[in-house]
């Protein structure tokens, strides 16, 4: 990665200090390092086939709005060159044939982003053994065939975002022994098949977001022993099988937000001994099976917000190093706390977010005993009474625990919330009393008037008779 970073720095420091214009539509820019950088505009394949200028000192070629429909071994008629960066985005490329880039044997970056590529012929990346970064994003690829990248033995970064990929053949990633970053988001993948990434033993980050994935094979992630970050957000995953992620011994961050999960099965995450961040928000989870989170010994943050929980049993969160637990935006009415000596204490937990639920009360003293080091409890937008909230707030305040009743989460706003809550209750009670008194007064007044009217009528009858 250090090599790649150094290469990118060289791109960003390029400044035009001199300008030499070739005939036709190419220009040579001299950088601060005095390296010629060739920029061509509105040219086609025929132009490059008859290109005669020397490229011995040119390290960067950029083509703007060119027309290179098919790239093959005849497209670039260059002699020996030292080109390290080749940028061909927005060049209307539809296909790349075998040996299409064989002349660029020193190439480190190949950018084919934002073209119309729907076909990559086997051996199309032949002779690019020094390539570090390949960008094929925003194209129309639909199948990755076997051995497609087998010549790219030093590739660090492969970007396949925003294609139409729905199938990856078993040996599509063969040869990518040094790949560390793989981007496959915004495609049409439906299943992560058995051992799909088996050849990527040095992969560190895998992006699979915004696909149509509904199933992860039990052995989908075999051999990814060095993977640190796995992003599966915005898919349709509805079930995790037991030990789904077991091969990922060094995974640090797992994101499964915006899927269709409804239950956390037994041992769903067992084996993730180094996982620190687990994001399960915005699913449909309503049940956690016993031992659903077993094996997560290093977990620090657990996100279960925006799900369908109606009650939570804290005994299921036996995660010894958990610092932050997000349970906000559910339908929680009840917190089940096991009151016995065998129930594990969450000694590390510091922040508990229960905001935007339907809680009216819970055993806050017992909860505190199970979370002795809690520092912050977020309770915004629940259904607490004045008496319960004031008692709870006083208890936690005495124990130096911050209770957040509003988004701003400070003592002044919480006290204002208490005043508002209790004033509302008092006002409601007073209103009921006033209504009753008024009703009695009106009744009495009406009865008195009726009595007077009756006496007057009786007097008139007797007088005229």
How many domains, in total, are found in the chain?
A: 3
Helices (H), 72-119: none
Question: Is the confidence at residue 453, as pLDDT, over 60?
Answer: no
| pLDDT band per the 50, 70, 90 thresholds, residue 353 | very high
Is there a domain that residue 284 lies in?
yes
Question: What does the pLDDT look like over 78-137, one tens digit per residue?
Answer: 877 889 999 999 999 999 999 999 999 999 999 999 999 999 999 999 999 999 999 999
CATH code, domain with 18: 3.80.10.10
Are 438 and 381 part of one and the same domain?
A: yes
One DSSP character per residue, 14-80 reads ----EEEEPSTTEEEEE-TT--EEEEEES-BHHHHHT--S--TT--EEEEES-B-SEE-TTT----S
Q: Mean of the pLDDT values across residues 220-248?
A: 96
- Provide the 3-class DSSP secondary structure of residue 425: helix
Question: Is the confidence at residue 186, as pLDDT, over 60?
Answer: yes
pLDDT of res. 430: 47
Are 114 and 6 part of one and the same domain?
A: yes
Are 430 and 367 part of one and the same domain?
A: yes
CA separation for the pair 256, 233 (Å, rounded): 5
Are 425 and 281 part of one and the same domain?
A: no
Question: Is the confidence at residue 63, as pLDDT, over 90?
Answer: yes
Are 385 and 406 part of one and the same domain?
A: yes
Question: Is the confidence at residue 395, as pLDDT, over 60?
Answer: yes
Poorest-confidence range of 19-33, 99-113, 169-183, 400-414?
19-33
Give, as one character, the DSSP assignment of residue 175.
Answer: T
Are 172 and 205 part of one and the same domain?
A: no
Question: What does the pLDDT look like over 281-295, one tens digit per residue?
Answer: 999 999 999 999 999
Domain span at residue 385? 342-465
Is there a domain that residue 36 lies in?
yes
Are 262 and 390 part of one and the same domain?
A: no
Averaged confidence pLDDT in the chain:
87
Percentage of the chain modeled with pLDDT above 90:
71
Are 24 and 139 part of one and the same domain?
A: yes
Are 196 and 174 part of one and the same domain?
A: no
Are 164 and 203 part of one and the same domain?
A: no
């Amino acid at each position: 990665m250090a090599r790649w970073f150094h290469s990118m720095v060289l791109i960003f420091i390029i400044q035009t200090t001199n300008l030499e214009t070739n005939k036709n539509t190419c220009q040579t820019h001299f950088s601060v390092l005095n390296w010629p950088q060739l920029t061509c505009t509105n040219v086609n394949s025929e132009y490059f086939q008859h290109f005669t200028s020397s490229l011995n000192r040119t390290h960067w070629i950029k083509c703007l709005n060119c027309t290179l429909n098919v790239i093959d071994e005849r497209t670039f008629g260059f002699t020996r060159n030292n080109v390290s960066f080749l940028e061909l985005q927005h060049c209307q490329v539809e296909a790349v044939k075998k040996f299409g880039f064989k002349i660029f044997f020193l190439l480190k970056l190949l950018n084919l982003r934002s073209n119309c590529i729907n076909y990559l012929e086997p051996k199309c990346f032949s002779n690019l053994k020094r390539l570090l970064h390949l960008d094929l994003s925003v194209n129309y690829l639909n199948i990755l065939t076997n051995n497609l990248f087998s010549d790219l033995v030093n590739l660090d970064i492969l970007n396949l975002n925003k294609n139409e990929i729905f199938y990856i053949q078993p040996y599509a990633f063969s040869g990518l022994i040094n790949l560390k970053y793989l981007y496959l988001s915004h495609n049409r993948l439906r299943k992560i098949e058995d051992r799909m990434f088996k050849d990527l033993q040095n992969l560190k980050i895998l992006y699979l977001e915004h696909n149509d994935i509904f199933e992860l094979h039990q052995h989908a992630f075999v051999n990814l022993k060095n993977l640190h970050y796995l992003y599966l957000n915005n898919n349709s995953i509805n079930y995790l099988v037991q030990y789904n992620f077991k091969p990922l011994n060094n995974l640090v961050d797992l994101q499964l937000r915006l899927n269709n999960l409804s239950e956390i099965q037994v041992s769903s995450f067992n084996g993730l001994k180094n996982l620190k961040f687990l994001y399960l928000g915005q699913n449909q989870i309503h049940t956690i099976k016993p031992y659903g989170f077993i094996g997560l010994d290093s977990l620090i943050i657990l996100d279960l917000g925006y799900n369908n929980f109606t009650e939570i049993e804290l005994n299921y969160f036996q995660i010894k190093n958990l610092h932050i637990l997000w349970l906000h935006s559910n339908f929680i009415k009840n917190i089940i706390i096991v009151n016995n000596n065998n129930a594990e204490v969450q000694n590390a937990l510091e922040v508990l977010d229960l905001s935007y639920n339907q809680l009216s009360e819970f055993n806050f003293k017992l909860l505190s005993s199970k979370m002795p080091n809690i520092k912050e409890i977020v309770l915004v937008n629940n259904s607490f009474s004045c008496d319960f909230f004031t008692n709870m707030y006083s208890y936690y305040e005495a124990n130096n625990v911050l209770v957040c009743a509003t988004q701003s989460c400070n003592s002044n706003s919480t006290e204002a919330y208490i005043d508002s809550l209790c004033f509302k209750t008092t006002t409601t009670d007073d209103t009921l009393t006033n209504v009753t008194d008024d009703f009695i007064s009106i009744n009495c007044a009406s009865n008195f008037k009726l009595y007077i009217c009756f006496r007057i009528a009786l007097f008139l009858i007797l007088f005229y008779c």
